[in-house]
Amino acid sequence: MVKVFIDFDGTVTRRDVGDAMFEQFGGQSSTEAVQQYLQEKISAVECFRRECEACGEVDKPELDKFLDSQEIDSTFPEFIDYCNAQTFECRIVSDGMDYYIERILNRKGLGTIPIFSNRLDLRPVDGLSKVRFSPSFPFTDEICDRCACCKRNHLLSLSSDEDIIVYIGEGYSDRCPARHADVVFAKDDLREYCRKENISYHEYRTFSDVKQRLQQLQEKSGTRAHRVGLRKRRQAELGRREVFMGG
């Protein structure tokens, strides 16, 4: 079976919604937390906690209005329809927050796609419209702290040896899962990383490009598309095996 794992911020959406949200409601303190994270002075979990704290009391109607203004790639719904028709399993794997991911997908009629991400609960303040952000992190990795939600672990735990893993992403948190995927679609930071690390990839701008390339891979092998056109990548197989063996 083909398993498709999809980043959210900057991939499904046109911009990084998480970054934009924390900048909007957390201001300079949020930006400073991100800089400390990029300088590897704090972990991803600590960065999120500081960003949430920086936001203080947030007006929930204002937050929801902001999130509802965020745009997704207009070709994404069609891509999901294509995957469903091909019986490809699709999942969102994100180092962002479930509150805005779920809200955006539900508004677009895409709320049935499984989501694996960090959690963001909104704690009411005195029963008014004000809330405080309360983050939690159910998918951390016990060794690596560079991401709060370990996408690589989702790829491995949700796939079997027979599956072909497709990964679609664009940013820093997509680097690790891309190393363990058989077919990689990359743009922006992930594209440059794949070039530097000699990871084979397909460049894309929209999900229409991804759909077209997957169709081409299928057509190369006719009825045996799932076994030949979309095939395993040797280095990715070795990487997955090394993780399972504790290397």
The DSSP result for 226-239, as a single string, is TTTTS---HHHHHH
- We find that the CATH architecture of domain 2-15+72-120+138-244 is 3-Layer(aba) Sandwich (3.40)
pLDDT score, position 224: 46
Q: What does the pLDDT look like over 37-53, one tens digit per residue?
A: 999 999 999 999 999 99
pLDDT score, position 247: 55
Provide the token pair at 25: 């409601």
Query: How many C-beta neighbours within 10 Å does residue 56 have?
Result: 14
Give every strand in the sheet of 2-6, ordered side by side. 57-59, 130-136, 115-124, 89-97, 2-6, 164-169, 183-186, 202-203
pLDDT score, position 218: 85
| Domain chopping of the chain, boundaries | 2-15+72-120+138-244
Query: How many C-beta neighbours within 10 Å does residue 163 have?
Result: 16
pLDDT score, position 228: 44
Prediction pTM value: 0.94
Where residue 219 falls among pLDDT bands split at 50, 70, 90? confident
Q: What does the pLDDT look like over 73-88, one tens digit per residue?
A: 999 999 999 999 999 9
Where residue 213 falls among pLDDT bands split at 50, 70, 90? very high
pLDDT score, position 140: 97
